[in-house]
């Protein structure tokens, strides 16, 4: 993942251009108004989910909600007027930077499926509805001693988005992508029927669901593999000073037989990067605990960059803090929105309000910012075979040269699905 900060200067100064200049360069003023709204929404949703889970009402209500989706799909047969179907969820509510304008041309289906349904400790699975977020899921699992085996990253990413869309931000060099820890999918098909598919019961459908963008049916629940959690991630930082050393270190830590539970790398320039390896542990060495998720802590990517000056180090980070380490700074997007947001004074006074909801940022960005993001801002994910990593980084530096870049390896599981890229080392 890589991003680029944009600048904007109007060719001709008039009242409209002055307004645009203020919107672009002083957007933080508007964002400060969104922060308390985002916080209130998170508190409400957190309380609501906790009550629902405590009362165990979600499983009993699930069938009713699925039946409602079915009834809407059947109504479409007579009211659809030849349009396609899609969820009625507004495009601004998604975490994707896309505008989702196609929704305006389609028949909307209300899908209010936002709950964790059940945890099966014997089977080591959790069953969830598609609008369950990664923050919601890890919070529910962590306090019960469970976690998912891949790193879920941003809090607001949803299960349905990661399954149906290109969920490559959640990955593991041991377990693969998000769909590789999914054991079954429950869908409402175009005729209003409900089907649950697994790799054994209906492999054609099961392996076609990931990355299908809802074209095969409405996802209404997913059963996901879980593993016992531990309290901390022992994180080791390895600063490197050349591209050759970075690639060699990254590949070595990814491919060795006793590889750590987590491997990633933040690339800050053509010759400066920090490779990180993390292992799940239950105890912490005194003086080395870093609760990086606390509101007053520096943004994670800035914290990582500091090791280029201080050298190699070891820290212990609470599990959920590590899983969502990029959430507060939205990777590094927030530095373009609130340039002074990592200032220590701002963090202590207002850091507890960070981050603003991505959905609210999209809702309030207006045509000017949309145009500027589309023409001068870059958010791009790329799938690269690991044997081509060095060549790809050199080409990227020659053609684009935008930093930071986030490298996260994942194991390509062989299956008959739609994403089945073969590489020499069978890794990406």
- In a domain, residue 299? The reply is yes
Q: Considering just the CA atoms, what is the radius of gyration of the chain in Å?
A: 22
The reply to whether 219 and 130 lie within a common domain is yes
116 in any annotated domain: yes
pLDDT in tens, 153-191: 788 889 998 998 876 667 788 888 888 999 999 999 999
Would the pLDDT of 63 be above 50? yes
Instruction: Tell me: do 127 and 177 sit in the same domain.
Output: yes
Average pLDDT, the chain: 83
Residue 425 has what pLDDT? 44
Give the range with max mean pLDDT: 75-84, 185-194, 419-428. 185-194
Residue 273: its H or E element: strand 273-281
Label residue 427 by pLDDT band (50, 70, 90). very low
Report the CATH number that the domain containing residue 147 is assigned in CATH.
Answer: 3.30.465.10
**Per-residue pLDDT averaged across 86-99, rounded?**
70
In angstroms, the CA 85 to CA 215 distance is: 9
The answer to whether residue 309 is domain-embedded is yes
Q: Are residues 274 and 293 in contact, defined by beta-carbon separation less than 8 angstroms?
A: no
Residue 91 has pLDDT above 70, yes or no: no
pLDDT value of residue 50 = 67
Q: Give the HSE-up count for residue 413: Cα atoms under 13 Å, Cβ half-sphere.
A: 16
Measure the CA–CA gap between 362 and 424, rounded to whole angstroms. Answer: 41
For residue 30, the model assigns a pLDDT of 65
Question: 257 and 243 share a domain?
Answer: yes
Asked if the model's pLDDT at residue 315 lies above 80, the reply is yes
Indicate the range of 331-340, 393-402, 408-417 predicted with least confidence. Answer: 408-417
Give per-residue pLDDT as tens, 120-143: 999 999 999 999 999 899 999 998
- Residue 54 predicted with pLDDT over 80: no
Judge contact between 4 and 329, C-beta under 8 A. no
* 126 shares its domain with 150: yes
Does the pLDDT value for residue 208 go beyond 80? yes
Bigger pLDDT: 99 vs 255: 255
Per-residue pLDDT, 16 = 53
- Element containing residue 345 per DSSP (H, E): helix 344-350
- The whole-number pLDDT of residue 103 equals 79
Measured between alpha carbons, how far is 412 from 426 in angstroms, rounded to an integer?
6
72, burial (CB in 10 Å: exposed 0-12, middle 13-18, buried 19+): buried
Residue written as tokens 């016992």?
Answer: 228
C-alpha distances in angstroms, 98 versus 95, 101, 149, 313?
A: 9, 8, 28, 39
Q: C-alpha angle 64/66/68, rounded to 5°?
A: 70
- Say if residue 143 is in the same domain as residue 257: no
83 with 169, same domain: the answer is yes
pLDDT band at 421 (very low <50, low <70, confident <90, very high): very low
Contact in structure between 137 and 126 (CB atoms under 8 Å): yes
Is residue 218 predicted with pLDDT exceeding 80?
A: yes
Six-digit token string for 423: 């590489």
Number of domains forming the structure of the chain: 2
Q: How confident is the model at residue 428 (pLDDT cuts 50, 70, 90)?
A: very low
Residues in the chain, how many? 428
- What digits encode the pLDDT tens for the residues 285-298? 999 999 999 989 99
Show the 3-state SS of 377-406.
CCCECCCCCHHHHHHHHHHHHHHCCCCCEE
Domain span at residue 329 reads 232-333+379-407
Residue that terminates a domain, selected from 181, 197, 228: 228
Are residues 173 and 70 both part of a single domain?
yes
* Confidence band for 301, pLDDT divided at 50, 70 and 90: very high
Residues 260 and 203 placed together within one structural domain of the fold: no
Q: Does pLDDT of 384 surpass 90?
A: no
What 281-284 contacts at long range (C-beta under 8 Å, 24+ apart), as own/partner pairs, is 281/230, 281/231, 281/232, 281/233, 281/234, 281/316, 282/230, 282/231, 282/232, 283/231, 283/232, 284/231, 284/232, 284/316
Question: What pLDDT score does 401 carry?
Answer: 87
Instruction: Give the integer Cα–Cα distance in Å for 85 and 167.
Output: 22
pLDDT of res. 29? 64
Question: Which residues are paired to 86 by β-bridges?
Answer: 108
| Number of neighbouring beta carbons within 10 Å of residue 387 | 12
Residue 50 located in a structural domain: no
Q: Which residue has the higher pLDDT, 3 or 396?
A: 396
List Cβ<8 Å contacts ≥24 apart for 33-39: 34/356, 34/357, 34/360, 34/361, 34/364, 35/350, 35/353, 35/354, 35/356, 36/353, 37/357, 37/360, 38/353, 38/355, 38/356, 38/357, 38/360, 39/352, 39/353
Model confidence at 25, pLDDT cuts 50, 70, 90, reads low
Residue 264 and residue 228: Cα distance in Å, rounded? Answer: 22
pLDDT band at 424 (very low <50, low <70, confident <90, very high): very low
Is residue 276 located within the same domain as residue 151?
Answer: no
Longest Cα–Cα distance in the chain: 67
For residues 167 and 313, state if they share a domain: no
Q: Do 203 and 245 have their domain in common?
A: no
């Amino acid at each position: 993942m890589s991003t680029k900060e944009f600048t904007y200067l109007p060719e001709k100064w008039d009242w409209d251009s002055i307004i645009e200049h203020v919107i672009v360069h002083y957007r933080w003023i508007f964002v400060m108004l969104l922060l308390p709204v985002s916080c209130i929404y998170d508190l409400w949703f957190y309380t609501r989910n906790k009550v629902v889970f405590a009362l165990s009402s979600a499983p009993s209500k699930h069938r009713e909600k699925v039946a409602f989706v079915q009834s809407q799909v059947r109504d479409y047969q007579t009211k659809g007027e030849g349009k396609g179907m899609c969820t009625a969820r507004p495009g601004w509510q998604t975490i994707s930077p896309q505008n989702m304008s196609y929704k305006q041309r389609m028949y909307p289906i209300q899908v209010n499926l936002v709950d964790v349904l059940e945890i099966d400790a014997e089977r080591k699975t959790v069953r969830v509805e598609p609008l369950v977020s990664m923050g919601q899921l890890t919070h529910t699992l962590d306090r019960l001693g469970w976690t998912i085996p891949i790193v879920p990253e941003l809090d607001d990413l949803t299960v349905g988005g990661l399954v149906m869309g290109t969920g490559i931000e959640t990955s593991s060099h041991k377990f693969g992508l998000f769909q590789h820890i999914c054991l079954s999918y429950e869908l409402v098909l175009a005729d209003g029927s409900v089907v649950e598919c697994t790799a054994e019961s209906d492999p054609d459908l099961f392996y076609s669901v990931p990355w299908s963008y809802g074209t095969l049916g409405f996802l209404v629940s997913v059963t996901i593999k879980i593993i016992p959690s531990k309290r901390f991630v022992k994180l080791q930082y390895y600063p490197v000073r050349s591209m050759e050393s970075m690639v060699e270190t990254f590949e070595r830590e990814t491919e060795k037989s006793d590889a750590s539970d987590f491997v990633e790398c933040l690339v800050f320039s053509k010759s400066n990067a920090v490779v990180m390896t993390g292992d799940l542990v239950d105890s912490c060495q005194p003086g080395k605990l870093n609760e990086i998720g606390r509101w007053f802590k520096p943004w994670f990517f800035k914290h990582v960059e500091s090791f280029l000056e201080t050298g190699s180090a070891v820290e212990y980070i609470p599990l959920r803090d590590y899983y969502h380490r990029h959430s507060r700074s939205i990777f590094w997007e927030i530095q373009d929105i609130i340039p002074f947001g990592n200032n220590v004074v701002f963090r202590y006074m207002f850091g507890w309000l960070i981050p603003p909801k991505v959905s609210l940022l999209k809702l309030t960005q207006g045509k000017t910012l949309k145009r500027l993001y589309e023409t001068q801002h870059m958010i791009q994910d790329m799938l690269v075979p690991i044997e081509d990593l060095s060549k790809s980084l050199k080409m990227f530096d020659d053609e684009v040269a935008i930093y930071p870049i986030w490298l996260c390896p994942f194991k390509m599981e062989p299956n008959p699905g739609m994403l089945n890229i073969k590489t020499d080392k069978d890794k990406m």
